Amino acid sequence: MNVKAVLFDLGGTLVKTAEVPKIFTRILAKCGIEVDTRQVLKAQSENEKEFDMSQGQIERGENFWPEWNARILERIGIGENVQFLAKKIDELWWDHANLELYPDVIETLTELKAKKIRTGIITNGLKRDYKRILELTSIAGLFDVTVGVDACNRAKPNKEVFLYAVEKLQVKPEETIFVGDSVKHDYEGAGEAGLKPLIIDRKGNIPSNIHKIRSLSEVLSYT
């Protein structure tokens, strides 16, 4: 395989954060409201049944997350200043998320650059969110392209979003590796688009019939 590019998922692949209920309760505590993380977790689960996160971001754009937050607040019994709090949670999210890179990210990206391999990100997030993540982790300059759901109004696992990214990189799908942590959204989507998919399986939980790696540095052996 003549590899000219490696594309990555963002959350769970390159970066990790605190769990959603913990972030939510931290921000509410900053606003003087104490809630139990178990309440938020239950509300989050109910939200996930009601909302399609990827499609919602495509359709509602930057309005989506305040609406999502407002629904969680309602579910946990907060009835006052809901819209204000929902927007405040959205504004403060990444500053309270304990955002950090996985330890193998910088070395892997640096080695790929040294080998003249083009790199990029495909994420089911909005541009304003992935830009903030890249700023906070100082890795924005290590990628040749970054594609979110608002780039082509598509989300993984739709093959069009993968094809959009490889076109931007001016490479062919068969010359491109895609690394992610979701079998459905990353592995199957990339494979359907003709890319070589790999799953990052740091905990060893993925079935053996899936092409997987245990650390990002293993990507280098494919290039």
Could you list the pLDDT tens digit for every one of the 223 residues in the chain?
Answer: 799 999 999 999 999 999 999 999 999 999 999 999 999 999 999 999 998 888 899 999 999 999 999 999 999 999 899 999 999 999 999 999 999 999 999 999 999 999 999 999 999 999 999 999 999 999 989 999 999 999 999 999 999 999 999 999 999 999 999 999 999 999 999 999 999 999 999 988 888 789 999 999 999 999 9
Question: Under DSSP, is residue 106 helix (H, G, I), strand (E, B) or coil?
Answer: helix
pLDDT in tens, 36-51: 999 999 999 999 999 8
Phi, psi for 39 (deg, rounded to 5): -65, -45
- Amino acid (one-letter) located at 96: H
Structure pTM?
0.94
pLDDT in tens, 161-192: 999 999 999 999 999 999 999 999 999 999 99
Strand segments, DSSP code E, in the chain are 5-8, 15-16, 100-101, 118-122, 145-147, 176-180, 196-200, 212-213
User: Residue 176 forms beta bridges with which residues?
Assistant: 5
